[in-house]
Amino acid sequence: MDVVEHVTQKASEARQAARVLANLSTGVKNSALVRMADALEEQQATVLEENRRDLEEARRQGLSPALIDRLTLNPKGILEMARGLREVAALPDPVGEIVRMWRRPNGMQVGKIRVPIGVIGIIYESRPNVTVDAASLCLKSGNAVVLRGGSEAIHSNRAIADLLSTAGQKVGIPHGAISLIERTEREGAMAMLKLDRYIDVIIPRGGEGLIRAVAEHSTVPIIKHDKGVCHTFVEEDADLGMAEEICFNAKVQRPGTCNAMETLLVHRAVAQNFLPRIVDRLKKAGVEVRGCPRTRAIVAGLKEATEEDWFAEYLDLILSVRVVENLNEAMQHIATYGSGHSDAIVTQSYDRALKFLREVDSSAVFVNASTRLNDGYQFGLGAEIGISTTRIHARGPMGLEELTCTKFIVFGSGQLRE
C-alpha cells in the first residue's frame, strides 16, 4: 500500500468511527479512559523500549539535545500520562449539553445542543505525550482523532496508540477512533491536508515552519497553535515589588513555552527605579537582557535590542526591554510586534487596567498576573489540547468544550414558514 492510500484509509476509518463515537454514553468513554490509564502503567516497559529505539535513531541522526530531550520518555512521565487520562475521565462530558433553548412567537422551541466536531486531525512534532493528551481529549468529547506525529517519535507513538486502541476496544470504543498514521513520509502529511471529506479540522502543534506549511496547503479547516511573543507592561502606578515577581515568573519559570514573556515594557516614570533591580535579578538567573537606548542608559552593559528582537519569540533565557512614554505607546508596541498570544499589565490604576484589558487584542490579557498563567489547567478548563491563536472557533486554551460544535434542534407542533 502506498503512503497516500495508507493515510486515506486511516482517515476513512476515523470517519466511520466518528459516527459511533458521537452517540457513545459518557460511561463507556470514561471506562475506556480508565482502562487506557491502566494499560499505560502495565505496559510501561514496552513503551520505554520503543522510545529507546526512537532515541537511538535520533542520536544516530545527530538530532539536537533539545529535540532529544523532548522525545525522551521515563517512568515518571508515563505515570503522568496515565494520571492525565484519569483526570480527563473525571471531567464533565461536554456532549449533549443544551447550551441555550428558547421559545419563538409561533410556539416552536429552538435550542442549541453541543455535539462532537467529528474527526480531528493532529499534526505534531517530537513529544510522544501529545499522543495520549490528544487521544484522551478527543475521545472524551466524542471525536475520532487522526494522529500524525513526527518520524523521530514513530516507535513511541505507535506503541502508545496501539495500547490505547486495544484498551478502548475492550469496552466498546470503535476501531478507528484513535488512528495513528504509521507512515511518516511528507507526502502522507500533504495527503492528509486534502482529506476534507473525512477530516473536519486539523490542529497543527509545532514550530513555525510546520504551521506555515499546514496553513499553506490544507483544504481542511485548521486551528493554529502559533507562537507567542508575549509582553508585560510595568505601568507608572505599578506596585514594583509585585511587578518584579510577575516579570521574573513570566520570563524564568519556564522560558521554552509559548506564554513566557519575551519583551518587557516599562513606563519611563518608573524605569529608573525598576529596571536596575529586575535586570539584576534576571541576570542572576542567567537571562540575557537586550535593551532599547533608554534602557541601556539606565542599566549599563546591556546588548542593544534591534527591530528583530521586538518580533522575536526567543523560547529561551533572553529578554528584550523597552522604555515607553505611556500606556498608548505600550499598547501600540504590542499591536505592532506582538503575536496576540498573552499580554499583561502591572498597575494599580483602575482606568488603565480596564483600558488595557479592553483594547489589547490577545488570546488572554492579564492585569497583575503572570502571562505564564494562560493555560487550560490554570484557567480551570480541566485540560487543554493547546493554545489557539486562531480567531475563529476557539481562541486561547482549548479544552473539551472547544473540541465540540453545536447544532440547532427544534421542537415543533406543525410550524410552517409563512
Binding site for a second copy (CB under 8 A): 19, 22-23, 96, 102, 104, 108, 110, 115, 117-118, 196, 200-201, 215-216, 219, 221-223, 239, 242, 245-246, 249, 253-254, 335, 353, 357-359, 361-370, 372-375, 378-380, 390-393, 395-397, 405-417
Output the smallest distance, CB 211 to a second copy, in A.
Answer: 12
- Write 307-316 long-range contacts (CB < 8 A, 24+): 309/263, 310/263, 310/336, 310/337, 311/229, 311/337, 312/229, 312/262, 313/227, 313/228, 313/229, 313/258, 313/262, 313/339, 314/255, 314/262, 315/255, 315/256, 315/257, 315/258, 315/260, 316/255, 316/256
Output the smallest distance, CB 238 to a second copy, in A.
Answer: 11
**Nearer CB in complex with a second copy: 62/380:** 380
Output the smallest distance, CB 216 to a second copy, in A.
Answer: 6
**Helix (H) or strand (E) segment spanning residue 310:** helix 307-311
Residue 202 has phi, psi (to 5 degrees) of -120, 130
Judge contact between 83 and 45, C-beta under 8 A: no
Q: HSE-up of 331 (CA within 13 Å, CB side)?
A: 15
**Nearer CB in complex with a second copy: 72/249:** 249
Output the smallest distance, CB 209 to a second copy, in A.
Answer: 15
Output the smallest distance, CB 229 to a second copy, in A.
Answer: 15
Q: Give me 147's grid cell.
A: 494522529
Output the smallest distance, CB 153 to a second copy, in A.
Answer: 27
Nearest to 384 by CA among 91, 176, 99, 161: 91
Output the smallest distance, CB 353 to a second copy, in A.
Answer: 8
Task: Report how far residue 360's alpha carbon sits from residue 270's, in angstroms, rounded to the nearest whole number.
Answer: 22
**Nearer CB in complex with a second copy: 162/402:** 402
Judge contact between 54 and 154, C-beta under 8 A: yes
